[in-house]
Structure 1
Amino acid sequence: MKATHQKLLKELTEICQDRDESNCSHVIALIKGLRFVLERIQALKREISKARIRIMEPLLKGPAGLDYLRKAFANRYGSPSDAFTSLTSTVQWLSSVWECKDWEWDEHKNSLSALTSHENSSQVLLPSTSLRTGGNLMIKTNGSQGTSPPLTSASTSTTDNHQPECKGERIDLIVRLGLLKLVSGVTGLTLESLPETFKLNLSRLRAVQAQIQRIVVICTSALVCRQTLLSEKVVASPTDMERILSQCIEQLLELLERVEDAGIEEIVEIISGFSKDDDKVVDTVKLQSRKVLMARMLAKSLQSGDPVFESVSRAVYLAARGVLLGGSGPHGRRLAELALQQVGAVILAGKVVEAAEVLVVAATVSVSVHGPWYTHLTDNME
């Protein structure tokens, strides 16, 4: 700060000494000095604000922070007894999940029960999802062939700070499932489409939705690549197939995270490269024909209502639900891996865990803050 101040004084001195014909040098120096003072004041205000936030951080992260949010919510939307009239979007949101919550919970518990049998089995299943242009892609292998990545948490990249699993408590369950259905939608989230209890989480939820949509696109693109490899018979063994697809998924992930508006052309450029036989001279005409075919297949498979799109979306949904209800510990991660295995994208389990962890945190905080309002609404849904 001292150095900056000394530099300013030197500049002002030079301006004052450099008299021009209009004799305005002193005015220019005065304006420059005032601008410097005002800029320093604004910078100081920002530093003070940051210091206040750092001082308040321990309080905001504790019970006092939840109390503050609860009181602020009550001041805007009224008491829990007014919830049906003041929280109309929340009522519609909870109602959309109410009928399926028990079925979803039972299915989740059945998946957990089946998890043990998967762990004890030496049989590994490759993707069962098929494109309409070819046959079923299910291949059964034994553990010695190693044709699929091992279903262990080592394939994930999340931290050791595991988020808690759902115990089946009514409010917690319905809020978690409701959030999952919000971010699983094809239409982008807007402030108007969110329940009142999550208006402050728009950017966070949109980021999760974007992550899930990227995962769906990557899974579908990998299936198109797999179908092309099978139809052209350029892969010698299942092991080579899985190795190639793993590389393909990694490159697609890097592309979609780096280029926000990447389209089908950029995706096809990547997946078509894995369908070339390195031992032969590349036929440019054949390569271009392959790209056109892949683009058509991908565009069709990414349309809502298409069987491939629905299968992939369902697999990603189940993977996220496994973490959302099973927690981000070993059980939740294993459920995510098993779900993604059906579309040959176990390598993306870590990304699903990261997205689902954000939803778990949001749901947990919301239940703590808005619990009385949720209770009043759901009591009247019985």
Structure 2
Amino acid sequence: MARWNGFWTRRTDVQRVELYTRVSLYVLVWWVGLSVVAFRPGELASPRTALLLAVAVVLTALAATLGLRVAMDQVRPRLDDPRVRRATALNVVAALVALGLAFALPQDDRGLVVTVVAGTLAWGVGAVRGRAAVALGPVVLVGGAVALFGIGASPAALVWLGVYAFFVFTLRSSLWLLAVVRELDQARQAQSRLAIAEERLRFSRDVHDVLGRHLSTIAVQAELASRLAERGDERAAATMLEVRAAAHEALREARALARGYRPVDLGTELEGARSLVRSAGIDWHEDLDDLPPRWREPVGWVVREAVTNVLRHSTATRVAVRWERRPEGAGGAGSLVVRNDGARPADPAHRGTGLVGLAERLAPTGATLDTARQDDDFVLRVDFPAETAAGRGEEPA
């Protein structure tokens, strides 16, 4: 018993649904045929009649089981698939052989064979997509009934067609349900993969922000310390202490990243940016007095990336950070503008990975990022929405 429990519990929900559907349909295929054989065993004309009927049942049930297996594997089988064509052909041949065996039976027992064929042919052919497959089962069924009983079999043929249609409906509805379950499982797996990819993207952005800024700081301060040391300036030692402090801070934030938690404080970002650009000989100006509290963290992201770009990609001598508030009644909407005077000639359509990542990170807040060159100035502008729009995405990705 424990073995069977383990066999069931080790399977996923989708595998359980598929196993349950397969077993149920396989049992139903054989139940249709065997119940007909057992319907009136004492009333059959002879043992020979019982044997022929049993052969017809087993033959059609085996073919139907194979066709059902192919249909279950593919869920939406079509005749252009070689496996489906072979299974369909086998079911039609088995049905024709069974109908041929019926000629050797007494007139009263031939209807049992047709009933078996009506039930089992539906499993092997009824699930196949396409007009030809839809018409194939009824043609074989009606043709066999007319051959066995003549034109007068029309009323009975309608009953057999009803049996065929019922089992086709049962099979197709089961396959449809199985297809829905599989698609939902695939969607769940895709959602999981997407969540993992988004988390990797978020982590890569954070690594870029943290290490980019701190490595830029270390590089600038180390170069300054080197020049001071060459001149014998006593400030070289103090500058190297700042390099060491920056390295320790980078290590601390890298560890925080590994733990998955690294809060962004605008005051800290501004202080670090101010110190960094001034140590590089760049003038720093800021005007963020009207900045709404809810935008402080996103503005911290922008300041960090903007300063990193200034140090890496420009020859700036002046950086200005300004918050431009919208007119009164705009619900706290405004724009952050970061301008530096060191724009280098570049492809206007090109945007570095840091700015692309920043734009993606800002998107959930409703903010939009834009860059432009104005003469020798490089302008980074982020438009933040009003409170009503921000409320839909206050929590960043």
Normalising by structure 2, we get a TM-score of: 0.21
**Which structure is larger by alpha-carbon Rg, 1 or 2?**
2
Higher relative CO (CA 8 A, sep ≥ 6), structure 1 or 2? 1
Normalising by structure 1, we get a TM-score of: 0.21
